Amino acid sequence: MSDQNEAQLQKTRDVVAETIAAQIAENEANPDIPTADASEVEASGWDEYTVDELKDELANRDLPVSGNKAELIARLEEDDA
């Protein structure tokens, strides 16, 4: 691998690490965000939606759009209940 490709790969890794760290910090700052385990996700119809579609639905309901797919689905299911 060339030095230029290695540098680009390292830059990408750094961006991913920063994004993950920011998401962890956001999740820790918002303990009220529901979480879901895999069995809960599989049991709902929401698991067939993409993350972007889930976020659109959450935005339409004026709910937070942050989190991973399981968290988004859990938030929608809680709102549905």
Res 29: pLDDT:
77
pLDDT in tens, 12-27: 888 888 888 888 788 7
Rounded to two decimals, the pTM is 0.47
Res 35: pLDDT:
61
**Domain map of the chain by residue range?**
1-31, 32-81
What DSSP string runs through 21-39? HHHHHHHHH-TTS----HH
Dist CA 11 CA 7 (whole Å): 6
Dist CA 5 CA 8 (whole Å): 5
